[in-house]
Amino acid sequence: MRPEPLFPLFAPTTSLPGIGSRMAVLIERAAGGRVVDLLWHLPTGLIDRRYSPRVADAEPGRIATLTVRVETHLPGDGRRRPYRIRCADESGTIVLVFFHLRGDYLEKTFPVGAVRVVSGRVELFNETLQITHPDRVASPEEAAALQTVEPVHPLTAGLPPGVLRKAIAGAIARAPELPEWIDPAFLARRGWPSWRTALATAHAPQEEADLSPARPARARLAFDELLASQLALALLRQRQRRVAGRARIGDGSLRARVTAALPFSLTGAQQRATVEILADMAAPVRMLRLLQGDVGSGKTVVALLAMLAAVEAGGQAALMAPTELLARQHHARIAPLARAADLEVGLLTGREKGKAREATLARIADGGLRLVVGTHALFQEEVEFRDLGLAVIDEQHRFGVHQRLMLARKGDAVDVLVTTATPIPRTLLLTAYGDIDVSRLDEKPPGRRPVVTRAIPAERLEEVVAAIDRAVAGGAKVYWVCPVIEESETGDLAAAEARARHLDACFPGRVGLIHGRLKGPQRDAVMEAFVDGGTDILVATTVIEVGVDVPAASVMVIEHAERFGLAQLHQLRGRIGRGARASTCLLVYTAPLGETAKARIAILRETEDGFRIAEEDLRLRGGGEMLGTRQSGLPDFRLADLAAHADLLPAAQDDARLIVARDPTLAGQRGQALRTLLYLFERDAAIRYVRSG
């Protein structure tokens, strides 16, 4: 149960004074639908209305709060000339300018002879000072209330800033004094305020510097969020470690036969990763290890060796891929290698139907199939394993946690190996997994040639087409990736279709088109034509980003490269350079480029090191957009900025470890306060781990 002091914070925003259902809809769009969401909706700017000079001394370009007497109204004609009101003080004259406002309203608001306090940006127009549409108008008695600093919060269309400010003030008034959950010595060393004081201070910046993530109030709130996240992960990890595993030790016979059949030697990184994984599997605790490898670093072979070790130990192993295309490709890669060890590899996706599917399910259940590759179809209720020992989850960020757990529950104390071709910086690893064990493949297999990367302005598109003509004539296959348009699948598809028509006119019958709306069989047919058939140019949306392997593809054109994230560009580039042919990636951009886009392109041209690129991507974009997708499996932080608060994350992780070691059930005085923290940041599931033991 959520602690009672938090009840008011999880009430809807309509429970706040003055917030009706219409405004609540807009507030939900901007910040969220509950009182607590308003607490996390921090200001991103401020308006200082304390500058209150005489009219003659008012500086153009500054926001000023002026006390003036209304002298005369100069109505406009409603179309070309605005309505103007001349006002003055003892030092000079200023004109208030209004467009599209009714005269009777303005006459009522500004009666001639009345004194008014107006606040807005002062401008100089035809040697006359003016304010166009003053932000605030008040009587002289209200001047003190007006001459303040106003926080500026992110808004949505139709939501007045004043209404949002009022709602946030109401939310802060509801925030209770809560028991302190941060270690007192650490709190004192950092010079941070209490939780409630930090909230009030962060929402009331008095100068630009107060908006910095490093300010004590903001840093404290960020640490609270990071500590809640790390503590929840530490409690989950503790629970996993308490669940007994099974020591799975193979004799190496199957691995030796498959390794001997490989057409290459394992890299040092592959050998190290395999040793680490096998050591985990041999221990009597359940394995949870992440295999991180850059594009083309050889993760599939390492995963296969781990799967063979599970089979040697008498169990079964399953590899789950996020799409049917990838599952079939993994199967096509693994099956011939497994044959060297006299093992058959089963395939289970949504496309397998009828008697063939039933036969596969029966052989999985009776243990006749020791190795299985599939999609999420593997964790459906009807799938039963005789003895699943290892689950390998490919491109883990494409699956939800519950999907990973469902596959792991298909056996007794199943070891789990998750893999990703998206190098994740250590900062993000900590946020997503806590102290997960990580193996890194930081070497490319021998023989891989570097990809030449060039940036080309969109005006030279015809030169790009001419270059493709030469490449195709020389036997190359070409990817042409179309831009992301406002996160709209329809827009992406339209752009891809238009580009495919244009290229088909230049290369009749040799252009294919692939996108997310194609059904599985259609997509596979297009890919097969590209791999082995008459299609030389494949126009695609980012559906080809991860995993697809076409050794003959040696040219990658990325249109509107400035619209893609750095990690995403690197993933796309990784689709080429897989064969013996020299490969080229052309980044076609629309000028002028912003500073971030320039930096992305410069880094991409400079290096193919995915881990360095991932760190730079985090620096340029922040954690929230890191993987170019909101399905990244990473927590969606509201207060912590992973780039700006990078130093706080290890501190939160160390503290979480210490808490779990000293008070694993959170029963002590600080433990009770930490329970409140977990509920506040909606990490309630961690409390269940504590209860269930």
Predicted confidence (pLDDT) per residue in 265-315, tens digit: 999 999 999 999 999 999 988 888 889 887 778 899 999 999 999 999 999
d(CA 192, CA 182): 10
Confidence (pLDDT) at 63: 96
Spatial CA neighbour of 117 closest among 62, 65, 72: 65
Calculate the alpha carbon distances from 470 to 297, 357, 509, 538 in Å. 30, 46, 17, 16
d(CA 475, CA 257): 35
Same CATH fold, 253-441 and 47-152? no
CA dihedral 569, 583, 510, 462 (to 10 degrees): 70
3-class state of residue 688 by DSSP: helix
253-441: which CATH number, 3.10.580.10, 1.50.10.20, 3.40.50.300, 3.30.413.10?
Answer: 3.40.50.300
d(CA 636, CA 618): 14
d(CA 257, CA 273): 19
Q: DSSP assignment of 328-358, as one string?
A: HHHHHHHHHHHHTTT--EEEE-TT--HHHHH
d(CA 632, CA 425): 13
Which residue shows structure tokens 């306060």?
Answer: 673
Which residue shows structure tokens 């500054």?
Answer: 62
Domain boundaries, the chain: 4-45+153-204, 47-152, 253-441, 451-625
Residues in the chain: 693
- The beta strands (E) that lie in 399-476 are given as 415-420, 437-441, 451-457
Mention every residue, 6+ apart, whose C-beta is less than 8 A from residue 524. Answer: 324, 325, 328
For residue 457 the two structure tokens come to: 């302005």
d(CA 275, CA 297): 16
Spatial CA neighbour of 295 closest among 568, 14, 691, 599: 568
d(CA 286, CA 31): 40
Confidence (pLDDT) at 616: 80
Which residues in the chain land under pLDDT 70? 78-79, 240-243, 396-407, 426-435, 447, 484-494, 543-548, 621-635, 689-693
The answer to whether the CB of 688 falls within 8 A of the CB of 238 is no
Confidence (pLDDT) at 170: 96
Element (H, E) at 246: none
Confidence (pLDDT) at 405: 62
Please state which CATH class domain 451-625 belongs to: alpha beta
The answer to whether the CB of 316 falls within 8 A of the CB of 592 is no
For residue 308 the two structure tokens come to: 């063979």
Q: Tell the CATH topology of 47-152.
A: OB fold (Dihydrolipoamide Acetyltransferase, E2P) (2.40.50)
Element (H, E) at 610: helix 610-621
The answer to whether the CB of 550 falls within 8 A of the CB of 416 is no
Confidence (pLDDT) at 489: 52
d(CA 32, CA 25): 9
Confidence (pLDDT) at 594: 81
The answer to whether the CB of 225 falls within 8 A of the CB of 656 is no
d(CA 83, CA 110): 12
Confidence (pLDDT) at 432: 65
The pTM of the full predicted model, rounded to 2 decimals, is: 0.67
Question: Does the CA dihedral 17-18-22-28 come out positive or negative?
Answer: negative
- The beta strands (E) that lie in 412-491 are given as 415-420, 437-441, 451-457, 477-481
The answer to whether the CB of 203 falls within 8 A of the CB of 197 is no
